Amino acid sequence: MPELPEVETVCRGLAQTIIGDKFLSVTQKREGLRTPFPENMAAILEGRKIKSVARRAKYILIGLDSDVSLIVHLGMSGKLVVSEDNTIYQEKKHDHVIFKTSTGKTITYNDPRRFGLIDIVKNSDINHHKLFSHLGVEPLSEDFTSEYFCSYIKNKNQNIKVLIMDQSFVVGVGNIYASESLFSSKICPKRPANSINQVEAKLLIKEIRNVLNAAIESGGSTLRDYVRSSGDAGYFQHYFNVYNKEGKPCSKCATEIVKIKQAGRATYYCPSCQK
């Protein structure tokens, strides 16, 4: 999926284009995705004005004037694309929900693998919502400190790479940025989490933020099918140091990048730089 930078990019794109619009019509082409769509979704949304667009973890929160929020998660392959030109909507394969707004925009939720989800929650209930209650700290917030890091990992024997992808520890870091930030920190992804000392924790926090911020600056990464809400591709993938680079020379020391599997997911690292 889109990881934090991609979701952030989509949110910023949406915020610039759809705030102030009203939902005119909502058409769903199926009953749901990973979970069923909310009951009466169209009735709840139609006529409502969009007040805000925000991100929590990898969730997009579209706040409405009825004090509820539309929650959208893009899963692995979801896209939320806005077209602004008031033209007739042309259905594409895997368009699951089509939102039309009062200013002639069409927002389509397209998701081939259907791992995403859409829900509607009262704003006052968001933090208690099943999807949100277990979430850890935002990596770009001040809550992600080395004290938090070190106390969390105390009894964790889990690989550090798997841990930084765990959304109950820190949110938004997915498979790409986990490998990339460990490379920048010179930390081997196979290290048990509780072997990370405070100096390394500080460095890793810094590098996670650097990598995420750099990716946001670049408009996210575009692999197979992620596109920004404008429909434009991001270009952070050109700056990958290790992700998808198996067998290629390390940018720092020219050692071949290695690919391993951890918790069922591919991990890329430089066996020479990362200790």
Give catalytic residues, as residue numbers: 2-3, 58, 265
Query: In sequence order, what E strands does 59-134 have?
Result: 59-64, 68-73, 79-83, 95-101, 106-110, 117-122
Cα–Cα dist 125/70, whole Å: 12
Residue 118 CA neighbour count, 13 Å, CB half: 27
**CB 231 to DNA: min, Å:** 13
Closer by beta carbon to DNA, 21 or else 97: 97
Contacting positions for DNA (CB under 7 A): 1-3, 6, 34, 57-58, 73, 75-77, 93-94, 112-115, 131, 134, 155-159, 162, 165, 167, 174-176, 193, 220-226, 263-266
Nearest to 173 by CA among 267, 251, 34, 257: 267
Amino acid at 109: Y
**CB 118 to DNA: min, Å:** 13
Closer by beta carbon to DNA, 86 or else 197: 197
Nearest to 82 by CA among 57, 58, 49, 110: 110
**CB 183 to DNA: min, Å:** 15
Instruction: Check: CB of residue 198 under 8 Å from CB of residue 146.
Output: yes
Q: What share of the chain is helix, strand, coil (3-state, %, to 5)?
A: 30, 25, 45
Closer by beta carbon to DNA, 44 or else 76: 76
**CB 154 to DNA: min, Å:** 9
**Cα 158 from chain centroid (whole Å):** 23
Amino acid at 234: G
Residue 128: partners with Cβ closer than 8 Å, 6 or more residues away? none
Closer by beta carbon to DNA, 28 or else 167: 167
Q: ∠ CA(245), CA(247), CA(250), 5° rounding?
A: 65
In degrees and rounded to multiples of 5, residue 239 shows phi and psi of -100, 5
Closer by beta carbon to DNA, 21 or else 75: 75
